[in-house]
A = this chain, B = another copy of it.
């Protein structure tokens, strides 16, 4: 490490009493040959940080909070700079001084779940900012399984994944959105639009539309043409916090690019400031050919959903809140044979829907954590093409503000964010 400092500032959440403490802590060190130490440039505050802060997720030991970061590699374990067949490329290419983004969970890139793309459920996966793995709201962070976990931001004409791409030209404040909220929002949209129960509108064929990679072996069956008037899709996005806004932008962009002339979206939140932000973002996106998008309160959502879907209900709901009232609203809005794509963290011990309700409406559901490491390559173009949205401030800027990483600012940010009085906040680390 190029610094002689041994200590750093960091924020820890304590269980008893439940409180945040801004502390001086030891700088983490390499503990495994696959580790990297990253000097954090920016750390984010995310809605799911609030679950433990509010006492909804019990824990026993204090831990460094936060799971969103962009930073610079300052130290690498000895498994780096050695090309080993079958190991992620980054073990041979990552260097001290490289700029990196980390997904909010670690992933080895080598186990079967990682190899088939489900990196969020890597056999070795750990959540940053949890009792088991110190988080990003500190000046330095240790990244386990760093060759599989980290995503290197190319700073020149370089290689991104397997394809040569142009330099990723965007600010660190934008890049940090790749750590969680943009991929999570994109994942919410992708789980909906790629679901077989929505395929009728893209394929202009009636259900079941068999994807080509399995269709070779389906014999029999009728392929009934779906007329243009029927090939229209209606969606709801429930929750317009930062992740919900990312889901909304991802959905609009994906649908606009399809050339699908008929789509409708109702974007729902009880908070008026969030609805205004959504309106401003939609204005920035400009008109989508044929698409109708409405922003609505929770009370108005069922009526608007019916209006936009010809009375049938929405084909898919992107549920981006993670509580029972959001799930219940999603159920109310969804059409029979529709899809609820839920990416929020659910903590309520009781599920709000029963088997009879799910059977009676033929509901499909998808739950869980975004496999960020697999998804974020898909988001980079989206990120770069909407710098007015994926940036700080302005009417459409998705990030509300950047505040210095000091005790007063950090605690104030948690308080305001918890009370719904501000949007996305980033912490700027000092350069010392």
Contact = CB atoms under 8 A, between A and B. Distances in A.
A359 B368 contact: yes
Interface in A130-180: 161-163
15 contacts: A162-B223, A194-B211, A208-B378, A217-B254, A217-B258, A218-B378, A219-B381, A345-B359, A347-B355, A349-B356, A358-B367, A359-B367, A360-B368, A362-B368, A364-B365
Contact of A348 (B336, B354, B364): B354
A32 interface: no
Contact of A224 (B117, B223, B259, B382): B117
B365 A369 contact: no
A121 B336 contact: yes
Interface string A355-381: 110111111111111010011011111
A193 interface: yes
B382 A116 contact: no
A355 B351 contact: yes
Contact of A202 (B163, B213, B310, B369): B213
Contacts of A345: 359
Contact of A213 (B113, B209, B369, B371): B209
Contacts of A212: 211-212
A347 B337 contact: no
Q: Sorted from nearest, which 3 A-B pairs have the closest CB atoms?
A: A346-B355, A117-B207, A362-B368
A113 B349 contact: no
Contacts of A363: 366-368
A113 B336 contact: yes
B348 A351 contact: no
B368 A346 contact: no
Given A118-B207, A359-B345, A194 B194 contact: no
A216 interface: yes
A196 B195 contact: yes
**Candidate in A211, A258, A348, A349 with the most chain B CB atoms within 10 angstroms:** A211
Contacts of A216: 258
A337 B224 CA distance: 31
B202 A214 contact: yes
Contact of A337 (B121, B209, B211, B359): B121
B369 A359 contact: yes
Given A378-B221, A381-B219, A312 B112 contact: yes
Interface in A100-129: 112-113, 115-118, 120-121
Given A208-B190, A212-B211, A374-B207, A366 B367 contact: no
A118 B337 contact: yes
Nearest to A113: B336
A162 to B, nearest CB: 6
Nearest to A227: B115
Interface in A254-294: 254, 257-259
B258 A214 contact: yes
A337 B200 contact: no
Contacts of A191: 196
A11 B285 CA distance: 62
A364 B366 CA distance: 4
A367 to B, nearest CB: 4
A313 to B, nearest CB: 10
A214 B227 contact: no
Nearest to A117: B207
Q: Which of A116, A117, A213 has the most CB of B within 10 A?
A: A116
A210 interface: yes
A220 interface: yes
A61 interface: no
Contacts of A79: none
A40 to B, nearest CB: 26
A222 interface: yes
